[in-house]
Amino acid sequence: GDSVTQMEGPVTLSEEAFLTINCTYTATGYPSLFWYVQYPGEGLQLLLKATKADDKGSNKGFEATYRKETTSFHLEKGSVQVSDSAVYFCALSNTGFQKLVFGTGTRLLVSP
């Protein structure tokens, strides 16, 4: 079945450092890919998405490119802030966006 693998955390960075969180997937067909973020005490929020190969999703300085040849959707940000500290989930959907398959989540800790 479909699955998502993402790097284990926590990822600990200093403010203004470069961030990469790796995500790879296994799926039949042509899934849509998502990154969700969960801030402490809040529900998951959609951070960005890409619906077809070579699409780049971006939001709040984060970006990820749908790479079909490597089945990857790595999350990047050029300069992280303390406020980016959260848990990041990579996910895919093969069924019209609504049924999601998630990775295990990666906790990001950014220190001043």
Partner 1 sequence: GAVVSQHPSRVICKSGTSVKIECRSLDFQATTMFWYRQFPKQSLMLMATSNEGSKATYEQGVEKDKFLINHASLTLSTLTVTSAHPEDSSFYICSAPPSRGTDTQYFGPGTRLTVL
Q: Tell which residue, 61, 93, 59, 91, has the closest CA to residue 73.
A: 91
Contacting range for partner 1; rule: CB under 8 A; set: 22-30, 53-61, 74-82, 100-108: 100-108
Q: Tell which one of 44, 47, 64, 75 touches partner 1 (CB under 8 A).
A: 44
Report how far residue 110's alpha carbon sits from residue 57's, in angstroms, rounded to the nearest whole number: 22
* Overall residue count recorded for the chain in this entry: 112
Report how far residue 78's alpha carbon sits from residue 81's, in angstroms, rounded to the nearest whole number: 10
Q: Which of residues 60-89 bind partner 1 (CB under 8 A)?
A: 89
Q: Tell which one of 28, 29, 43, 112 touches partner 1 (CB under 8 A).
A: 43
Helix (H) or strand (E) segment spanning residue 92: strand 86-93
Find the shortest distance in angstroms from Cβ 94 to partner 1. Answer: 12
Q: Which residues bind partner 1 (CB under 8 A)?
A: 4, 8, 32, 34, 36, 38, 41-46, 49, 51, 89, 93, 96-105
